[in-house]
Structure formats: structure tokens, C-alpha cells
Structure 1
Amino acid sequence: MLAKDIMASPVITIGEDQNVRRAIEIINATKFGAVPVVDAEGVLTGIVTEGDLLRRISSSNGRRPVPHTRDRKEALADYIKARSWRIKDVMTTPVISAVPTATITQLADLLLAHPIKHIPVVAEGRLVGMVSRRDLMRAIIDTPSESTASGDQALHAAVCSRLESELGIPPKDVETSVSNGLVVLRGEVESSIEREAARVAAESVPGVQGVSNNIQVAYRMLSRLKPPAE
């Protein structure tokens, strides 16, 4: 699933020279907590977020003079962002954006890597849509599940493969048996967290109906951590 499949479009925008009050009106009227900012040619130049607007509230009391210190330039920039009524002064820039063909995984990575909640979708410099965290959550639920393994033998192979490929736990350490879709895990691992990870790996295999985790923790089981003999 791609950004173009889940994005909201069209999106209400605001001009750089418009008033902050207009941004507040748009946010209150739409489901988004942000408003994209475009220039006279319609090119995306910034974004006004709820955080940008909340800064005005937090700084509304106690108007202290800007100090003459080494940080004066930064303090003056904060003063302008907190006091100005012009969108260009308060907007966040540069904007973290995505192309219409970005996958939901790439979109999720962007949201996790940056302190943002909305991603404008841009094609050839023009805003074509917007993706929010809520859109991504909805897409994850709506995404078709992986193909379900058929039969206990197929489930056994899938669980063993996942344990080894994702966790590095070979069949010799953890024995897997499957009956009527129910998985039983037996063996030894190095820690309780690895034991729980093995359970999660088995549960995540499509078609598994339940997991009985009988794995034991052997704290002196360090063979896999030792470097190979020279």
C-alpha cells in the first residue's frame, strides 16, 4: 500500500502571508492537526502545526525582554515565532514530505525518525495530499494478512524458519511441534526476554491458533555467544 492509496486529498492550504487565525480555523474545521503552507505558485514551503500554535499560548504570559546574551539570535527567532501573526514567521520549515509512491513502511519510518504527526505528499513540488498517523494506523489494519500456512506441517516449517531467520534460534535449541494449529515450543534459550521473543515469533506466523511456551531459560547457555575457535 502506497501514500497515494491512503492520503487525504485535496488538502486545505494556507498562504505564507495569511494570518495565524486562519490556520487555527482550518485546524479546527478539519481532521488534521497541521496546515500545509504554499507560496504564490502553489509550491509547498512550510507547515503550521498544532505545536507551532501552542507555542503562542505557552508564551502568552509574562512577556520578558529578549536578553542580550550569546543566545540572543536564537531568542529573537523564538520571539518572532511565538509573537508574529504572519504564517511565514510561525511555520515549520523545511518540511518533511513524501512522494505518492512511498510505501506505508517508509511513511512510518519518517514519522518515527522525526517529531511530526503529518506528512505532506508532494509530486513535482506540488502538494497532492496529506498522510496522518491515523491514516497509517487505519492502513495497517486494512492491509491484507500474509498468506496463511496450510496444515500443521507447513506451520511447523514456518515457525522454525521464523525462529531461526529473525531471532537466530536454531531447531537444535528450540524444538517445535504443531497439532491442529497449536504450537508447542520446548528447549533452552539464554534469557527470559529471548523466551518471550520466541513466543511472539511463533504467534506472528499466519495460521497459528495458539502457542504453549515451554522453553526454559539456561543462563549458562553461552555457546552461541562464543567466538569461533581459530
Structure 2
Amino acid sequence: MKAKDIMTSRVISITPDHSVGDAARIMLANRISGLPVCDSEHRLVGMLTEGDLLQRAELSPSFWFGRDQPTAAPPTDDYVKRHSWRVSDVMSRHVVTVNETTPTDRIAAIMVANDVNRVPVMRGETVVGIVSRQDLLRAVASYAPDETATGDRALRRAILERLCEDVSLERELIDVAVTDGQAFLWGQVTDEAKREAAGAAAASVAGVKGVTNRLRVVAGELPSPMRLPVLIEATQQ
């Protein structure tokens, strides 16, 4: 799936001249936690999120009671972000964006790498949608395993394809046996991460009842195509 398949198309935005109070009320009224900030020509210039508002002076008792406790003076930039009423002074100007065709796995990686909860989806300079972490969770929740043909032979073919395509294992160095829906993985891989990924990939094929992972981790470069035990072929009869 891509951004256009999961994004929220109804984008609520504000201008840099909005007040912080108005922005907070818009978030509450629409049950959203972030707002794109667009200029008069509808170009994206920033993002205002709940995180930007958590350090506001309005949340501090000293804001109401005259700072009766001595504290060190905050840096000028921090003071402006805490006290200014204008969105332009409080918003985050560095905005991470994606386009409509960005794959969902790439979006998830971008969110993790940049520690953000949502990304605007751009078409040129225009915001056409928002993808949030909740949108990604919905995609995970709605995922259905691929439909495959029934029978052990069909399952074996599907698992082999999944291991080669999704986990990038060498076909000549692995094999799969399936008996009554129980899958057995054989062969060699370069590291434990690929071994675990292979087991998860095999288990995700519809119709597989269980997986016995007998792949061996071989450090360094794998040998050229190996010959697997005759037992594997025998289990396919």
C-alpha cells in the first residue's frame, strides 16, 4: 500500500497568523493532534502539534501567580515559543513530508527516524492528505494474509516464493517441506535476523499451521549452491 491508500484526505490547516488558542480549540473540536500550517498561497510552511504546546507558559502555575519561585531565565527562543500567541512563533518549521506514492513501510520508517506521529502528503507544493500512526495501525489491523491454493505442494511453492522475494534468501541454498500444513525450513542463511525473518514469512502464508525452522546460520559468505538432504524430497511424495 501507498500513502494515497491510507491517508486522511480531509486536511484541516491553519495559517501562521492564527492564535495558539484558536489552534488548540481546532485540534480539540476535530480530535486531531497536529495541524499543517499553510501561507496565503496554500504552501506548507510548518506544522503545529500537541508536542509544540506542551511547554506553553499557560500550563505553568507561575504564569498565573507571578513567578513567585525564582528560576533561571529561559533562552530567548524558548521564551518566544512559550509565550507568543502567534502560531508562526510556536510551530515546527522543519516538516517531514511524503508524496502520494510513498510506500507504507517507508512512511513508517520515516516516522520512526524523525520521531514524528504524522506526515503531510504532498502533491507538488500542495498538501493533499495526512498520514498518522493511527492510519498505519489501521492498515496493519485490516491486513489479510494472501490467499493461496490449497494443498501441501501449493503451500511449499508459496513459502519458497515468500522467502526469496520478501527475505531475499538464495533459492539454491534453501528448501521447504510441507506435511499436512506443517512447514519445515532447511538450508543456510548468513545471520540470525534472516533466519527469524524466514520463519515469520513462512508462518504468514495462509494455510500454514506451523513452522519448524531448521535453517542454519553460517557466518561469512555462503557456499555456492548446496545439495539438500534427500529427506526433503521424500516428504513431498
Q: In structure 1, what is the Cα distance between the partners aligned to 2:153 and 2:140?
A: 29
Q: In structure 1, what is the Cα distance between the partners aligned to 2:182 and 2:53?
A: 53
Q: In structure 2, what is the Cα distance between the partners aligned to 1:193 and 1:8?
A: 34
Q: In structure 1, what is the Cα distance between the partners aligned to 2:196 and 2:169?
A: 14
Which digits, 9 at most, give the CA deviation of each residue in 1:45-84, with x for residues without a partner?
1110111001226983565224xxxxxxxx3222222221
TM-score when normalising by structure 1: 0.74
Helix, strand or coil at the partner of 2:205: coil
Change (3 A) 1:210 1:42: same
Paired position in structure 1 for 2:153: 153
Name whichever of 15-24 and 163-172 sits farther off.
163-172
Q: CA deviation at 1:164?
A: 5.5
Question: What are the equivalent positions in structure 2 for 1:22-171 lying under 5 Å apart?
Answer: 22-56=22-56, 60=60, 63-66=71-74, 75-143=75-143, 145-163=145-163, 166=167, 168=169
One-letter amino acid of the counterpart of residue 201, structure 1: A
Q: CA deviation at 1:161?
A: 4.6
One-letter amino acid of the counterpart of residue 31, structure 2: K
Change (3 A) 1:191 1:155: same
Question: Does structure 1 retain, via aligned residues, the 8 Å contact 2:145–2:205?
Answer: no
What's the Cα RMSD here?
A: 3.3
Change (3 A) 1:190 1:93: closer
One-letter amino acid of the counterpart of residue 155, structure 2: L
Question: Does structure 1 retain, via aligned residues, the 8 Å contact 2:57–2:83?
Answer: no
TM-score when normalising by structure 2: 0.73
One-letter amino acid of the counterpart of residue 146, structure 1: D
Change (3 A) 1:209 1:34: same
Change (3 A) 1:37 1:195: closer
Q: CA deviation at 1:26?
A: 1.6
Q: CA deviation at 1:195?
A: 5.3
Name whichever of 45-54 and 27-36 sits farther off.
27-36
Q: In structure 2, what is the Cα distance between the partners aligned to 1:121 and 1:191?
A: 36
Q: In structure 2, what is the Cα distance between the partners aligned to 1:12 and 1:23?
A: 11
Name whichever of 98-107 and 53-62 sits farther off.
53-62
Q: CA deviation at 1:8?
A: 1.9
Q: In structure 1, what is the Cα distance between the partners aligned to 2:220 and 2:109?
A: 35
Helix, strand or coil at the partner of 1:15: coil
Runs of 5+ consecutive residues of structure 2 not aligned to the other structure: 63-69, 224-237
Runs of 5+ consecutive residues of structure 1 not aligned to the other structure: 67-74
Question: Does structure 1 retain, via aligned residues, the 8 Å contact 2:145–2:204?
Answer: no
Paired position in structure 1 for 2:205: 205
Q: CA deviation at 1:134?
A: 0.5
Q: CA deviation at 1:138?
A: 1.0
Q: CA deviation at 1:28?
A: 1.5
Helix, strand or coil at the partner of 2:10: coil
Q: CA deviation at 1:207?
A: 3.0
Percent sequence identity is: 38
Helix, strand or coil at the partner of 1:122: strand
Paired position in structure 1 for 2:67: none
Which digits, 9 at most, give the CA deviation of each residue in 1:139-198, with x for residues without a partner?
2333554342442112223334544662647676x6632122221346787887665444
